[in-house]
Amino acid sequence: MKREKRLTKRERKALAPPRPAAAPAHVHHIHCIACGRHLEPEEMQTGEALMLRCQHGSTFPSCSGCRSRSIELLAEHDRTGQAVRTASAWH
Ligand SMILES: [Zn+2]
Ligand SMILES: [Zn+2]
Ligand SMILES: [Zn+2]
């Protein structure tokens, strides 16, 4: 009995076109360090989001509502010298 050749899962995967790049490099993604929410550049203008500066002079984005939590995160980072424990980004 003649059977049509079927591709294995791995073979199909190899034939699949490569995934398109996640996001164009020129799109600047900023996320609140305290809650991980995506922040639009316009929110910086409207005051819904702000940039906070740590003692080393690096800036970190934050929602205005997360301000105090973000400041705590930066204070901890400055105290310990560890990377800022940013929340995982989401959309
Ligand atoms: Zn936030
Ligand atoms: Zn984003
Ligand atoms: Zn710092």
Q: Report pLDDT digits (tens) over 8-57.
A: 877 777 777 666 554 444 457 999 999 999 999 999 999 999 999 999 99
Mean pLDDT of all residues in 48-76: 97
- The reported pLDDT for the residue numbered 23 is 43
The pLDDT assigned to 17 comes to 65
Report the pLDDT value the prediction gives residue 13, as an integer from 0 to 100.
Answer: 75
Which residue is it, tokens 């500066």?
53
Q: Which bound ligand lies closest to the C-alpha atom of 32?
A: 1
Ligand nearest to the CA of 74: 3
Q: Chain-centre distance of CA 39, in angstroms? A: 10
- Across the range 63-84, mean pLDDT stands at 98
The CA 75 to ligand 3 mean position distance, Å, reads: 9
